[in-house]
Homo-oligomer: A and B are copies of this chain.
Amino acid sequence: MTYCLAIRVNDGLVFASDSRTHAGVDYANVYSKMHHFNLRGDRQMVLLAAGSLATTQAIMNLIQRDLDDPDAANSLNKVEYLFDAANYIGYLSTEVQEQHIAAMRRSGFSGEASFILGGQIADKEHEIYLIYPQGNYITASSETPFLQIGETKYGRPILDRIIRSTTSLEESARCALVSLDSTMRSNVSVGPPIELVFYVKDSMQLSHYLKLTPTSPFYASLQQCWNEGLKQTINTLPRFDWEQQQEKPAQQAADLHH
């Protein structure tokens, strides 16, 4: 499994992904799921991938081949809108899956893959798209300004509670790290290192790429702060009626000593 997410706030984009791949419970490996291509100066894109590693690697190869070939019918350099790019990746994805689907089904595998594409082209808005295994795609809404693929549920509540369009890029990124950390803690199929990258809107370049492991001082410190903060927050939650009644005698006794 995998967990990747992208957040689109007013200031730009944040991308985060884990790095664990595996075949069943065996053959666990570290592969980056965050992909970046050298594109024309008027555009910037990041592609996050979940699903069959064979499928996603084949798609990356096809994307690069089209970029290298000036006569290619389409490429990430030729699209005019980001949804064109989502459509193009969806097309490549279904083509690759189609090629192997019969053999994969015979072996009981699906070969499916999902993607999150985020970026900006020229004077258009910065956007994020989720591309389904079927090749169709959706973008995020201003009410739910993030997209997730893979093992999405563990890390979702913190995003639902915190992320708004007005959240800063850095706060969004801290939230993404907590979301990934919670997922890794509860599900062994999602694992480090965590990759994190920022895109400031209209900059046409990525900034602050980070690769974090549990031993990275920043990540260790974030984990510790979060754990302690949660424990404190649980401790500040309202008491049940009977606890207050139980606490009263002690309080009265304390009053006597004043």
Contacts and interface: CB of A to CB of B under 8 A. Distances in A.
Nearest to A184: B157
A170 B241 CA distance: 11
Nearest to A224: B238
A65 to B, nearest CB: 36
Interface in A216-242: 218, 221-222, 225-227, 229-240, 242
Interface in A181-208: 182-183, 185-187, 208
A124 interface: no
A50 interface: no
A160 B155 CA distance: 13
Interface stretch (A111-119, A125-133, A171-179): A171-179
Given A161-B185, A218-B240, A232-B233, 10 more contacts: A154-B157, A161-B230, A162-B230, A162-B234, A170-B243, A171-B235, A174-B234, A178-B237, A225-B237, A229-B236
